[in-house]
A and B are shown apart, each in its own frame.
Chain A
Amino acid sequence: MQDAAGTAGARVNPEVDSLVRAAQRGDQDAFEQLVRAYDQSVLRLAMNLLRSPDDARDVYQEAFLRVYRNLHSFRFDCSFHTWLYRIVTNICLDQLRKRKVRKEEPAVVETSEGAIDRTEGFEEESAAANPERMTWNRQLGQRIEDALEELTPRERMVFELRHYQGLRLRNIGEILGTSEEAAKNCFFRATQKMRTELGDLV
């Protein structure tokens, strides 16, 4: 199955629904298929938001264990995707709020596989081919990270879900337990802050 979260979004998906029902009846294979249908999106969301493989791994584990423990109480009042994302976004928001308090995120992140530079993803061209361009990309990358840091956890989440995960604002409102209008306002504030922070670069 393709990554259901990436393509199906909030839509009701009969295939997913039947997997959920089977998993609720105790079918382990169905549960595993559900995990695999969504776990890449969940991990991408957690990595994008937290920029730390260890933290993303914690989010993944906690999210799917919560799903496992609580699947019996899922009543199809919303799509499974929305229900899953409520769990995942809650866990990520907790993490982001803790970080806001700590305010301690270095540009170089230590992981079990060595240090990862948070800005290295911007290096599209190789250093040998275009070193000046690479330096500029690196600067822009860091500026973008700083601008994202300026957002409140909720603004950051709404922006992430809209821009990087491609969800509709109405669905984002549903996931975050708020109205479409409130999600729109939040998204607008986030884009305004980003424009203010990055105005000279874009």
Chain B
Amino acid sequence: MTCDAVRKLIPLYYYGELTPEEEDQAEAHVHECGPCARQMEGARALAAALDRRRTESPASLLADCRADLSAALDGAAREPWWKLWLGEAGATLAGFTRWRQPLGAVALIAVGFFAARIIPAGAGSGVSTASLAPSEGVFVNVRSAQPDNTGRVRIAYDETRRREVFGTIDDPVIQKLVLAGVHEENDPGVRVESVGLLKDRAGSGEVRDALMNALLHDTNPGVRLQALEGLKPLAAETPVRNALSQALEFDDNDAVRMQAVDLLTLRHDEAMVGVLQNLVQKEDNSYVRSKCTKALKEMNASVGTF
């Protein structure tokens, strides 16, 4: 083995990263070769010197970090984000559904084969037949159910049909459907997924507006966090910055505010000094406060408003 080849192995030898064969070859060579033995000694001395390098942390740093994280998670009610935010929206949804219910008897049910079996074929003129009965994948909303004078029952229902379409997110039809998903008020899970799909497409004005709208108005923090992710590349744009500062001021979720402050303080912006000073005064979350303070100091702005 040549000296050049051995010198390439020496750092790896020292850290035990050679194969046993390479190790044997290196050892045999170094045993016979003075200059390479000195190289080996040099590697050892370098490692020893580097071992003496110490990074001293303030004693409270770990405790502070844990407290920051705990506060952020407390803000998320200490539930897994997905479940929690679905749960929160579920509570909102319960009220919403009550409000939506019409006065008559209404049932939103997946009927499938069950309905097909109870509605007899050729049941009579003007009345649904089996061929018209809902089938699998069709959701019905029953508007009225009344007996008529012949002993039969008259049902009026609305149908919602499930369809599947496939395509890339760049396909305008798919993108339109995903944008509709962002507004799917009944299902926060769909909104999270839809906003997630759009987050790499924020360059388009329509998508950007949908993301800003989701950030400011969606009731579900999971959706708002996804929207923030999508707005990240646009954090320098004024309308986005305005939306971020509004989220910082009004959003009640710590994780959302923490992410918003990260994006807003990525670049120094004199226009945000007032917003940041205000936050230092009133913000409860220590992470958000410390980010604001740091950004203000970096801009040589005073931390307080006097």
Question: What is the interface of chain A, defined by CB distance below 8 A to chain B?
Answer: 23-26, 28, 31, 35-36, 39-40, 43-44, 47-48, 51, 53-54, 56-58, 60-62, 64-65, 68-69, 71-72, 111-113, 116, 120-122, 124, 137, 140-141, 144-145, 162-163, 168-169, 184, 187-188, 191-192, 194-195, 198-199, 201-202
Q: Are A28 and B79 in contact (CB under 8 A)?
A: yes
Q: Is the interface of A mostly helix, strand, loop or mixed?
A: helix
Q: Are B46 and A113 in contact (CB under 8 A)?
A: no
Say which residue of B49, B62, B69, B78 sits within 8 Å of A65 (CB atoms).
B69
Q: Are B79 and A26 in contact (CB under 8 A)?
A: yes
Q: Are B50 and A163 in contact (CB under 8 A)?
A: yes
Q: A187-B17, A192-B11 are in contact. List 19 more A-B contacts (CB 8 A).
A: A23-B80, A28-B73, A43-B57, A47-B55, A56-B61, A57-B61, A58-B291, A68-B81, A69-B255, A72-B80, A112-B58, A121-B55, A124-B52, A163-B50, A169-B12, A188-B8, A198-B46, A198-B49, A201-B49
Cβ contacts under 8 Å, A24 to chain B: 80
CA distance A62 to B11 in the complex (A): 34
Q: Are A184 and B17 in contact (CB under 8 A)?
A: yes
Say which residue of B17, B42, B262 sits within 8 Å of A195 (CB atoms).
B42
Q: Is the interface of B mostly helix, strand, loop or mixed?
A: helix
Say which residue of A51, A169, A194 sits within 8 Å of B17 (CB atoms).
A169
Residue B106 at the chain A interface, CB threshold 8 Å: no
With A163-B50, A191-B11, A202-B49 as given contacts, are A61 and B83 in contact (CB-CB < 8 Å)?
A: no
Say which residue of B46, B225, B262 sits within 8 Å of A191 (CB atoms).
B46
Residue B96 at the chain A interface, CB threshold 8 Å: no
Q: Could you give, for residues 38-82 of chain B, a 1 whenever the CB lies within 8 Å of some chain A CB and a 0 otherwise?
A: 000011011111101111111011101110110011001011111
Residue B258 at the chain A interface, CB threshold 8 Å: yes
Q: Are A61 and B287 in contact (CB under 8 A)?
A: yes
Residue ID in chain B nearest A59 by CB atoms:
B65
